[in-house]
Amino acid sequence: MTYIFENAAPQAGMRLGVLADIFDETTRQCLAARGVQDGWRCLEVGGGTGTIAAWLASRVGPTGSVLVTDIDPQLMSTVSAKNLEIRHHDIESDPLPADAFDLVHARLVLSHLARPDLALFRMVSALKPGGWLVVEDFEVPPPGDGDDALSATALAMRGLTSAASDHRLGRTLARRLVHAGLEDVEIEGRARLVRGATLGARLMQANFEQLRPRLLATGLSAEQFAADHAELDDPRFEMRAPTMWTAWGRRAA
């Protein structure tokens, strides 16, 4: 699969910034509940803008360390800490140290990969015995009707993204972690609505904007695109957002 929301696009920083604004708090709660503390060695895979990596670096303190990777780490240029290393790295193919990390985390990365289970096995091998893996991903609901009807632009975007990512992956995370040999596996999902004129609507608009040329190439008119974009500014707008599934498990001690 090819990652279609490239970090080099002019809209990418804003888009991933909104993503962090919506999801970081829940992610931090889950990582804190795994016990991340002074001295831990952490790996953040596909770190995007690096907000979670920066939080981990402050949490593990000077005796700990964080390695944050991405196939395109350019959006992390403002993130820095003495105990934080940013590395250009492909989780499907580039080397990782074995038995090295107390915690490995990846959010919204696996669903974009052609071989998510290979990436999971590689993350598990990078864990120390007893270390925690936390992975998070979307389950995108099928197009609905009534309140959850998709606009023409959202429907065209769904077509583009479903060819480039696995819309069901979030729902499958627990069984994948068990298959990868982890213990104490748990999973929680968070359902949300995208409501007009909120951060969720802003994220959807940013997705539209980043994919605009490809959306118009599907035959969508510029007028329809503009109307569907503007509808997201209406506070009465509501539609079901993808469910974010968060799964965790630990490597046998």
Residue whose token pair is 């819309």: 167
Q: How far is the CB of 189 from ligand SAM (least distance, A)?
A: 16
Q: Which is nearest to 11 in space by CA: 49, 67, 37?
A: 49
Q: Closer to ligand SAM at the Cβ: 36 or 231?
A: 36
Q: How far is the CB of 235 from ligand SAM (least distance, A)?
A: 26
Main-chain dihedrals φ then ψ at residue 199, nearest 5 degrees: -60, -40
Q: Closer to ligand SAM at the Cβ: 64 or 73?
A: 73
Q: Closer to ligand SAM at the Cβ: 107 or 251?
A: 107
Q: How far is the CB of 36 from ligand SAM (least distance, A)?
A: 16
- Determine how β-strand 238-240 pairs with β-strand 193-195: antiparallel
Q: Closer to ligand SAM at the Cβ: 30 or 231?
A: 30
Q: How far is the CB of 211 from ligand SAM (least distance, A)?
A: 13
The helix or strand, by DSSP H or E, that contains position 158, with its residue range, turns out to be helix 152-164
Nearest residue to ligand SAM on Cβ basis: 48
Burial category of 240 from C-beta neighbours within 10 Å (exposed 0-12, middle 13-18, buried 19 and up): middle
DSSP state of 165: S
Residues found near ligand SAM in the complex (CB under 6 A): 3, 7, 16, 19-20, 45-48, 69-72, 90-92, 107-109, 112-113
- Note whether 226 and 172 are within 8 A (CB): no
Q: How far is the CB of 49 from ligand SAM (least distance, A)?
A: 6
Copy the structure tokens of residue 26.
Answer: 């829940």
Q: Closer to ligand SAM at the Cβ: 16 or 231?
A: 16
